[in-house]
């Protein structure tokens, strides 16, 4: 979803009423919490001075353990220690199976859509596991700030779909937190560098962590932060660099592939340490304990190391190239390159990626903390701790939302790119005399015909008092909250009967699908206009035919001579024939002809009803 900057008036409070707020980076491997103090955003440490909280939750019969202690137990108690829960959140069991990753946990209740993991402390859902991580971070913030948090901003990947976003919000609610807003991770990084206060332009956010790689192309345009494209590889990161180096050591030291797993573990740990040293120095010494008192000693220089990792870095660059292409821009349009994630500390990564984008990478803020810092800055604004004119980042609707009207047409109620939150209402009426129910079909997309858009929900409004066609007034209200969740309400205004439905508008739509839907609406704009015109004329024809039919049944015999009736029937027949064809202009002409033919009849009916209304009254009563 794209993001927009607007001022939210009336949000600011006086400085002495400073409300406590925090930004939370809820990561796959690690999480952090940050806050703004004395105008400066900083991440908060635990009592031991550790800023990073491993996103690991262990369930024991005595209770729940989160972070470093849980991580230390992962190897000996894998079934009860949940790692990388972010890969599971908001996904159905089928989705998770298709992830293909070999997860060590046992899933229960395979029959239900939402997976639950069996632990010694009972079955837990990914939302509950995430809530445990959030609780620890929130407690840390409250202890450190000395008060209760008024709200938090939690970051999510730009590609998270609606279900994943909703599940993240659910986790926060379960942790007792008020979520001001979910914020896309790359946007948070851009905010941390203050890019939202700079001139319009396109930015690349390159995020290479331990196990995942994400590239996002954002455009700031007239205050709108729009996600133009995302890409990456959910199984590529610093761990792969460690593995490449460990394999090199094995070749040098003559260690067999089937060495015992303690040795392999040690090797991975030593390789990681050597990799990190190589970010500082040109050469790293290696001293590997092989077991049985044997050691292997050697060293590796940067050039050799680059030979090992360059193919992996180039893989990330291929993904960057694809993202730039998907964004439909030239590479040299990228103004800023923001580096996120521990692996962007590697000088070689900065060098090759900087070369590709022809931009100086932004590395001043700790790449592990930059997302949390951006979230904290945003939380501070949303808590109302900034002056009135301070800008806010808000989401916009990625696609138009509307309802189906007669003839399979779409009536757009909220156009795409509308700033969220938003509520818009439109009035509709009944099509038939005595209609007591109305079907509301909610659709999303840019095309004119319902069949070319995405159907989101259907519901019925019942209990409309019977009235003549066109007399009932039904107000349909669309509201989309700040996180993009839509609810639709239909209300009949005379009696106040209501029906409502909650829908998830972007559920399951990837950015590519959104882009395709937009492209299709542009490609088909002309066709669509013609189709719309035809459908509208057909609806109008049907309305005229029904209204005339009702009138003829009521008083046709009484008011019309047989010859007059024949003329009207002939014109009616012509219209019905035209409406069965595909020529919108012919339908329009037949409607006009029929209306002309019926003019005298309409006049007679009006006179007749006036006469009836006046029967028994004196003329001056009406003056």
Nearest partner of 450 among 398, 488, 422, 412, judged by Cα? 412
Rule CB under 6 A: is residue 51 a binding residue for ligand AMP?
no
Number of residues that bind ligand AMP (CB under 6 A): 17
The answer to whether residues 267 and 249 touch, using CB atoms and an 8 Å cutoff, is yes
What pairs with residue 60 in β-bridges? 63
**Interface positions, 318-357, toward ligand AMP (CB under 6 A):** 341-343, 345-346
Specify the residue, 265 or 498, whose C-beta has the smaller distance to ligand AMP.
265
**Interface positions, 108-167, toward ligand AMP (CB under 6 A):** none
Q: Which of these ranges, 15-23, 87-95, 271-279, 524-532, lies near ligand AMP under the rule CB under 6 A?
A: 271-279
CA dihedral angle for residue 247, residue 249, residue 252, residue 258, rounded to 10 degrees: -50
Task: Please give the Cα distance from 103 to 125 (Å, whole number).
Answer: 14
Specify the residue, 115 or 341, whose C-beta has the smaller distance to ligand AMP.
341
Q: Which of these ranges, 77-85, 272-280, 377-385, 435-443, lies near ligand AMP under the rule CB under 6 A?
A: 272-280
Q: Which of 165, 203, 275, 412 binds ligand AMP (CB under 6 A)?
A: 275
Residues 6+ apart with CB under 8 A from 534: 582, 583, 584, 587
CA distances from 280 to 163, 269, 340, 345, 483 (A): 42, 18, 18, 9, 42
Specify the residue, 363 or 551, whose C-beta has the smaller distance to ligand AMP.
363
Specify the residue, 160 or 507, whose C-beta has the smaller distance to ligand AMP.
160
Q: What is the DSSP letter of 419?
A: B
**Interface positions, 208-227, toward ligand AMP (CB under 6 A):** 209-210
CA dihedral angle for residue 121, residue 124, residue 127, residue 128, rounded to 10 degrees: -20
Specify the residue, 30 or 531, whose C-beta has the smaller distance to ligand AMP.
30
Specify the residue, 151 or 238, whose C-beta has the smaller distance to ligand AMP.
238
Interhelix angle 584-614/525-551, nearest 10 degrees: 30
Q: How far is the CB of 375 from ligand AMP (least distance, A)?
A: 15
Rule CB under 6 A: is residue 279 a binding residue for ligand AMP?
yes
Q: Which of 128, 368, 404, 446 binds ligand AMP (CB under 6 A)?
A: 368
CA distances from 403 to 217, 436, 459 (A): 32, 19, 11
- Binding marks (x or -) toward ligand AMP, 9..48, rule CB under 6 A? --------------------xx------------------
Residues 6+ apart with CB under 8 A from 605: 551, 555, 559
Rule CB under 6 A: is residue 276 a binding residue for ligand AMP?
yes
Q: How far is the CB of 273 from ligand AMP (least distance, A)?
A: 9
Nearest partner of 236 among 122, 321, 157, 315, judged by Cα? 315
Nearest partner of 189 among 2, 300, 340, 403, judged by Cα? 340
Q: How far is the CB of 158 from ligand AMP (least distance, A)?
A: 16
Q: How far is the CB of 367 from ligand AMP (least distance, A)?
A: 7
Catalytic residues: 25, 86, 185, 207
Cα Rg for the chain, rounded, in angstroms? Answer: 32
The answer to whether residues 255 and 263 touch, using CB atoms and an 8 Å cutoff, is yes
Which residue number is nearest to ligand AMP in terms of Cβ?
Answer: 238
Residues binding ligand AMP (CB under 6 A): 29-30, 209-210, 237-239, 272, 275-276, 279, 341-343, 345-346, 368
């Amino acid at each position: 979803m794209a993001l927009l900057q607007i001022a939210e008036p009336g949000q600011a409070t006086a400085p002495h009423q400073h409300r406590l707020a925090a930004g939370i980076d809820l990561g796959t491997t690690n999480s952090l919490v940050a806050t703004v103090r004395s105008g400066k955003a900083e991440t908060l440490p635990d009592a031991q001075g550790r800023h990073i909280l491993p996103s690991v939750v262990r369930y024991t019969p005595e209770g729940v353990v989160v972070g470093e202690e849980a991580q230390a137990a992962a190897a000996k108690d894998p079934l009860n220690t949940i790692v990388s829960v972010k890969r599971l959140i908001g996904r159905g069991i089928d989705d998770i199976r298709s992830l293909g990753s070999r997860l060590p946990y046992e899933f229960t209740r395979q029959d239900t859509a939402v997976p639950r993991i069996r632990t010694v402390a009972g079955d837990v859902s990914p939302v509950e596991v995430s809530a445990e991580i959030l609780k620890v971070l929130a407690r840390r913030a409250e202890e450190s700030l000395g008060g209760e948090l008024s709200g938090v901003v939690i970051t999510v990947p730009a590609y998270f779909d609606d279900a994943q976003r909703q599940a993240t919000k659910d986790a926060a609610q379960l942790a007792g937190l008020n979520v001001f807003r979910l914020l896309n991770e790359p946007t948070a990084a851009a905010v941390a560098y203050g890019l939202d206060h700079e001139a319009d332009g396109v930015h690349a956010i390159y995020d290479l962590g331990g196990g995942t790689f994400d590239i996002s192309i954002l455009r700031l345009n007239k205050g709108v932060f729009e996600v133009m494209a995302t890409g990456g590889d959910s199984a590529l990161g610093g761990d792969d660099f460690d593995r490449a180096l460990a394999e090199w050591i094995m070749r040098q030291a003559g260690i067999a592939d089937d060495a015992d797993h303690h040795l392999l573990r040690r090797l991975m740990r030593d390789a990681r340490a050597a990799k990190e040293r190589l970010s500082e120095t040109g050469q790293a010494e290696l001293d590997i304990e092989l077991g049985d008192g044997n050691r292997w000693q050697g060293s590796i220089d940067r050039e050799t190391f680059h030979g090992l990792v360059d193919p992996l870095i180039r893989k990330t660059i291929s993904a960057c190239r694809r993202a730039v292409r998907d964004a439909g821009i030239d590479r040299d349009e990228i103004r800023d390159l923001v580096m996120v994630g521990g692996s962007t500390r590697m000088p070689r990564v900065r060098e090759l990626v900087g070369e590709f984008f022809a931009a100086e990478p932004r590395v001043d803020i700790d790449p592990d903390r930059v997302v949390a810092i951006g979230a904290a800055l945003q939380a501070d604004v949303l808590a109302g701790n900034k002056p009135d004119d301070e800008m806010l980042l808000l989401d916009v609707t990625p696609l138009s939302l509307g309802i189906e009207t007669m003839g399979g047409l779409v009536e757009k109620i909220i156009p795409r790119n509308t700033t969220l939150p938003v509520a818009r209402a439109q009035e509709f009426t009944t099509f038939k005399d005595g209609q007591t129910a109305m079907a509301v079909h909610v659709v999303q997309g840019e095309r004119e015909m319902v069949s070319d858009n995405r159907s989101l929900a259907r519901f019925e409004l019942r209990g409309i008092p019977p009235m003549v066609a066109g007399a009932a007034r039904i107000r349909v209200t669309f509201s989309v909250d700040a996180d993009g969740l839509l609810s639709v309400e239909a209300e009949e205004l005379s009696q106040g009967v209501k029906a409502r439905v909650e829908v998830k508008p972007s559920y399951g739509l990837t950015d590519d699908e959104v882009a395709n839907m937009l492209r299709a609406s542009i490609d088909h704009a002309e066709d669509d206009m013609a189709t719309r015109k035809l459908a509208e004329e057909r609806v109008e024809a049907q309305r005229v035919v029904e209204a005339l039919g009702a009138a003829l049944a009521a008083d046709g015999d009484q008011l019309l001579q047989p010859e007059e009736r024949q003329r009207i029937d002939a014109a009616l027949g012509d219209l019905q024939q035209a409406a069965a064809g595909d020529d919108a202009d012919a339908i329009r002409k037949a409607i006009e002809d029929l209306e002309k033919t019926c003019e005298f009849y309409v006049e007679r009916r009006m006179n007749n009803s006036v006469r009836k209304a006046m029967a028994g009254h004196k003329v001056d009563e009406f003056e």
